[in-house]
Amino acid sequence: MGLYDKRGVSAQKEEVHQAVRNLNVGLYPHAFCKVYPDYLGGDANWVNIMHADGAGTKSILAYLYWKETGDLSVWKGIAQDAVVMNLDDLLCVGIHNNIVFSSTIDRNKHLIPGDVLEAVISGTQEIFDMLHKFDVNIHYLGGETADVGDVVRTIAVNGTMACRWPKNKIISNDKIKAGDVIVGFAGFGQTNYETTYNSGIGSNGLTSARHDVLEKFYALNYKESYDPNLMNDVVYIGKNRLTDELHIPGYNQSFHVGKLLLSPTRTFAPMVKQILENDFDAIHGMIHCSGGGQTKIMKYLPQHFLVFKNNLFKTPPVFDLIKEGSGSNNKEMYEVFNMGCRLEMICEAKKADSLIHYAKSFGIEAQITGVIEASNNKALRIQLQDEELNY
């Protein structure tokens, strides 16, 4: 049993998939989100989508950093994580506008005061205000804030997005075919709509990141930040304090380890909106490399293909930090983390340069990262500089 399993989490969420196996898969079984008939409007030319996600255990990192430094701004990042983990999933089925959002915040009132709640709620509105400048309109309809200290040790920040959308503007992944290329978009660096460097961590694998990077000090001083049933040998086994500094090549400053782990999940919405409005037919499929990391694409292939990724980005420093702390091998790392590439578009090779050009106009690094090949079974091969990973 690996460290991830010992901590009570799963990169592939096998038991979750087993539990929902009998539910309706929607109109497009291979689409990144479930798409349903237009129950709200009754129009055969429209569809409904409702999607739920959240910041996950990243909120515990925010709690630790806030307790150690007094910096309330990290909670605005958690609000962004909860929004973007919903929004960027919806982008992958073609949705980029006129979305409604409802938040769900569960807290332990004894540990999470009102100013933290205010930072999360105002941070949610701030990300919507930023997106509005790019004509990505999300309407904040409130939500539920509950004091459930018997259930939640610190705080859980989640949300639900819903939308009614034209059926002929859905990305279903059914157009993916052999010979297509994968254009990967980096989650790290700094876009022209971000105010600082983004480590690219996203909102997945943070249980591993927290325990493998941070030192035992946090187990001794913040017992509310982890499951007391865990064995001591998997709890905060790293070498770092949150305020330790790490230099990022190309930047004239160092960053706190805590801030790198808490980099708000980047949304690709401004770029994706432009692509879908101007070149919708070019996109055969889209994948948000969230839970499952670089193996995520395997779940959404419309038929048997070999996915060959042979030109992924150089791994950003935050993932090297996690790998060093955990002792994980590359196969585990690429299955849990996005490793710097958090969005994939599948298209014909002749369209790739156009997509890369869109990305560069927003300050997003992009490149052809792989190809779709004919195969007798679904398989993924990742070619690193000195190692081949097979899934």
CATH number of the domain within which 338 lies? 3.30.1330.10
Q: Which of 58-62, 120-124, 245-249 comes out lowest in average pLDDT?
A: 245-249
What pLDDT score does 24 carry? 77
Tell whether 155 is covered by a domain.
Answer: yes
Which residues make beta-bridge pairs with 383? Answer: 388
Tell whether 81 is covered by a domain.
Answer: yes
Q: Is the pLDDT of residue 12 over 70?
A: no
Per-residue exposure over 326-343, b if at least 16 CB sit within 10 Å of its own CB, e if not: bebebebbbbbbbbbbbb
Centroid of chain to Cα 104? 18
Tell whether 248 is covered by a domain.
Answer: no
The structural domain count of the chain equals 1
CA dist 73 and 67 (Å) reads 12
What pLDDT score does 20 carry? 61
| pLDDT tens per residue across span 331-345 | 999 999 999 999 999
What's the mean pLDDT in 342-368? 98
What's the mean pLDDT in 349-363? 98
Q: Which of 4-13, 129-138, 299-308, 365-374 comes out lowest in average pLDDT?
A: 4-13
Phi, then psi, of 322 in degrees rounded to 5: -65, -45
Q: Is the pLDDT of residue 219 over 80?
A: yes
| pLDDT tens per residue across span 288-302 | 999 999 999 999 999
What's the mean pLDDT in 134-154? 97
Number of Cβ atoms within 10 Å of the Cβ of 66: 22
Kindly state the greatest CA–CA separation across the chain: 58
What's the mean pLDDT in 155-165? 98
What pLDDT score does 11 carry? 53
What's the mean pLDDT in 21-29? 82
Residue with tokens 């689409």: 31
Q: How confident is the model at residue 10 (pLDDT cuts 50, 70, 90)?
A: low
Q: How confident is the model at residue 1 (pLDDT cuts 50, 70, 90)?
A: very low
Phi, then psi, of 257 in degrees rounded to 5: -55, -40
Q: Is the pLDDT of residue 367 over 70?
A: yes
Fill in the amino acid letter for 58: K
Q: Is the pLDDT of residue 156 over 90?
A: yes
Query: CB pairs under 8 A, 24+ apart, for 247-253?
Result: 248/197, 248/317, 249/317, 251/197
The answer for residues whose C-beta is within 8 angstroms of residue 51's C-beta and 6 or more apart is 33, 34, 86, 89, 90, 160, 161, 162
Tell whether 139 is covered by a domain.
Answer: yes
DSSP 189: B
| pLDDT tens per residue across span 224-242 | 999 999 999 999 999 999 9
**In contact, 89 and 290? CB cutoff 8 Å:** yes
What pLDDT score does 152 carry? 96
Q: Is the pLDDT of residue 4 over 60?
A: no
Is this prediction's pTM over 0.75?
yes
Fill in the amino acid letter for 188: F
The range of the structural domain enclosing residue 280 comes to 3-195+263-390
Tell whether 28 is covered by a domain.
Answer: yes
E strands along the chain, which residues?
A: 36-37, 46-54, 99-107, 138-147, 155-166, 181-186, 245-247, 254-256, 285-288, 305-309, 341-347, 366-374, 379-383, 388-390
